[in-house]
């Protein structure tokens, strides 16, 4: 049986969790924060490793969900480009990931197959007014574009640490331990039923 090669991309060492999936060789990658760093690190890793799947794992804020939710994203927007009047530049990318259904979201403690929109940019968002999307981060859009360019399936899995306008950087730092524990438990549950031969 062919081993599925997976890159698990984390922005920071503090967000990294152990991921073991049946039939998979999962390689962790620390990209650093921000879209330029994430794009450069992931493009280099894809060129060298030739993965079958990239999973972006980490923390995020939200304008409309709850702390503790785990939101799986397959659609991504760039909040800076979204305000651009240059119509030749796309601010939206969708990922076709044949394994996405095996990564359920967890909303208010309940697993769901609903997939969410991730909004990425190079600023730390503190207020929720006029912010599109469900999970607010700093890397996923860039990583989705890199994966689209290389033809690699991509999915983003975000633990919600803060609600925009209610808490801030301090809440994010305080929630990192909770995020790691919840994401480790999440991937253990996913591993119970994960099928690398889905395609």
Q: Which domain holds residue 60?
A: 4-193
73 occurs within a structural domain: yes
199 occurs within a structural domain: no
Share of residues in the chain with pLDDT > 70 (%): 86
Q: What is the pLDDT of residues 92-112, one digit of tens each?
A: 789 889 999 999 999 999 999
Residue 168 — pLDDT band, cuts 50, 70, 90?
Answer: low
> Which tokens sit at 27?
């390689």
Among 50, 54, 43, CA closest to 19: 54
Distance CA 82, CA 39 (A): 18
Among 58, 59, 87, 55, CA closest to 74: 55
Output the CA–CA distances (angstroms, integers) from residue 6 to 29, 52, 66, 71, 177, in the order listed. 10, 6, 29, 19, 24
157 occurs within a structural domain: yes
CATH number at residue 142: 3.40.50.1580
198 occurs within a structural domain: no
Q: Average pLDDT, stretch 17-38?
A: 95
Least confident of 18-22, 43-47, 127-131: 127-131
36 occurs within a structural domain: yes
Q: How many domains is the chain built from?
A: 1
31 occurs within a structural domain: yes
Share of residues in the chain with pLDDT > 90 (%): 71
Residues facing residue 116 across a β-bridge: 73
């Amino acid at each position: 049986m062919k081993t599925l090669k997976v890159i698990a991309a984390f922005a920071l060492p503090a967000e990294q969790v152990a991921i073991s999936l049946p039939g998979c060789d999962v390689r962790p990658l620390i990209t650093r924060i921000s879209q330029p760093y994430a794009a450069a690190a992931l493009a280099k890793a894809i060129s060298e490793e030739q993965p079958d799947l990239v999973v972006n794992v980490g923390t995020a804020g939200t304008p409309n969900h709850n702390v503790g939710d785990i939101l799986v994203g397959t659609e991504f927007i760039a909040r800076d480009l979204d305000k651009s009047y240059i119509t030749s530049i796309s601010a939206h990318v969708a990922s076709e990931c044949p394994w996405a259904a095996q990564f359920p979201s967890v909303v208010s403690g309940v697993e769901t197959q609903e997939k969410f929109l991730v909004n990425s940019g190079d600023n730390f968002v503190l207020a929720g007014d006029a912010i599109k999307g469900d999970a607010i981060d700093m890397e996923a859009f860039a990583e989705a574009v890199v994966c689209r360019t290389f033809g690699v399936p991509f999915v983003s899995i975000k633990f919600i640490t803060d609600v925009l306008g209610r808490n801030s950087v301090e809440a994010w730092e305080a929630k990192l331990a909770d995020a790691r524990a919840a994401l480790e438990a999440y991937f253990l549950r996913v591993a119970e039923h994960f099928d690398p031969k889905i395609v």
